[in-house]
Structure 1
Amino acid sequence: MHNTSPRLIALDWGTSALRAWLLADDARIVDARQRGSGLLNVTAGADAQTRARDYATAFADICADWLQDYPGLPAIACGMVGSAQGWREAGYLTVPTALVIDAQSMTPVPHEHGILHLIPGLRVEHDGTGNPADVMRGEETQLIGIMEMLDQPAGEQLIVLPGTHTKWVKISDRQVISFSTAMTGELYGLLMHHGILARTATAGTADAAFARGLDADRSRGLSSALFGARALVLEDQLEAAALADYVSGLLIADEVAHLLPENLGEQRIILCGNPALCRRYESALARHNVRPAASVTEEAAARGLWTVAVDAGLLSPADPNAQRIEEVS
């Protein structure tokens, strides 16, 4: 019988939200919570001392009872909490790099009940040959979790992590070779909450409009196509309630067209993220005759946090009979 006693407090502390898990053996979730206390809501341009106080308050707010009920439990966090605007800067590992985080790579942050260990992000350095610099925080931990959950983690993978800042990550035999970021989610939020499109749209959902956006002509550029969405509404060729989904289709189609390699070779595509958003990316990929080998839930972050804690010696290894996902044949 599996041990369900809590062994780890694990946090994915991002830009807009904070997710926390109380984990038992094999990253089994005993309890889970979410707050809107992401970086944007915690820091608000505060100085370092004020940020530290506010982060400590947010940390206590989400898991004070865990800390009191299970004293001495190790705590670990990934994401923007380790950024320059976070609780404390946790640095970066430079790719290419193996998906292994050791104790020396993490940044300890003292709190009232012990130490919170911050996981470093990953960075691509500008090499002077046209490859742009790039960074990630939090997704590296998701990648570690994905590798643990796949039944065939060896070989070449192209992992797509849809979200506010979507990551396209090339992995070979558990090494991150390179990655690129698209601000698709953030652009969508800005467009649909500010500016002229926000004033044109009304509430509603329309899957057909999303598909129409995927297939829309973007030959004059994405910016032109986006303004054209407003014109469609004004000319009664698109319902105002369908505008948001149409714009989503435009943005995702443009991202996939630019970041999907022309020749995948032996790479298998893995999607990881919100299931509804992943389905949208599946539809966009289908336009290029590409089918993902697997789709992994956002709980990969919890699995990754557990794995890092074990690798770093914060706790002993778990039962080897971890739940795995099967790839689509």
Structure 2
Amino acid sequence: MSDSLETKTLQDRLDRLQELTEFTENCKKQLNDIFESLGWSPDYKQEAVEQCPYDPDHIVPVRSMEKHKASCRLRKMGYSAEEQAEMNDPSVCYENTSVRSFIMDKSTQHQVILQARSAAPLMRMEGVFWQGQYSGQPVDVPQNHKRTLCDLTVADRLALYDHVVGVLGQQRDAASTSNEDLYVDLVSKLQKDDKQNEPKTHLELMAEMRDYKRRRQSYRAKNVHITKKSYTEVIREVINVHSDELARQWREEENEEESTRSEHSSHRRRLDERRSASSESHHSHSRGHRSRERSQDRESKKKRKKRERDSRSPSDHHHDRKKKKKKRKEEKEK
């Protein structure tokens, strides 16, 4: 009894294993068909990917992460795809040359602007940038010319230019001093040291004094017109500048008022001339009209008399002549 049960369970397990094997084979066949239709390979190995530091939703392969980070950073800063396409990396042009370059970051840019702002005067002065012309908030480093003009003021750009020129100048001086040590003429140096032990002549003393004066003049402060003046003198100059500006504005307003008054007077004169001309033309027109009416009346009277004479008969004319003769005789007799 037990042997029959064991054989039955064993047979059931074998049948179930056969079914599972057929099912897996069928699934593999279906997957292979799908791969063949799509042109894929079942031996594909997934490439390693990383998460973008600027956007956590971006999962990018490791081989293209640097390129993606540069593009994503510019996109986060507000640069469009067209602006990114116009940008070029100039570092390739300076790889095998002696041209020095300087990379500016956001913190360095802000520190340079703050230093220039603290050194600037508090109030507006002619020929000098004052503190109100510098940016107070840190901005991203511009990546093209348009952003440089929009995000940075004229004073900011000048301060950054002076900083970059100063840093590169220091690097150039350091490189030149390090190279000069390789070309030191030891013989001339020893001879010079020997000569220094001897007393100096009058011409050498004069040359040293001349060089000393030149050096003092060259190291003199460039802004001596500000540093050597007291607070009262600086405030007096500021007041004079504002007074000159107010006087200039006052003169401009007076000139504008005079021009407006002259324009009004000329306009009034033109109106008066137009009125006088119109009145004269009206009077002349009325006189001409009256003279034309008189001439027309005279002509109409003449025409009427002529028509009356033409309408009479010859006998009437003869009778009228007799009356006139008789009337003249009576007048003579009287």
TM-score (norm 1): 0.17
Q: Tell me which of the two structures has the higher relative contact order, counting C-alpha pairs closer than 8 angstroms and 6 or more residues apart.
A: 1
Structure holding more helix per residue: 2
Structure holding more strand per residue: 1
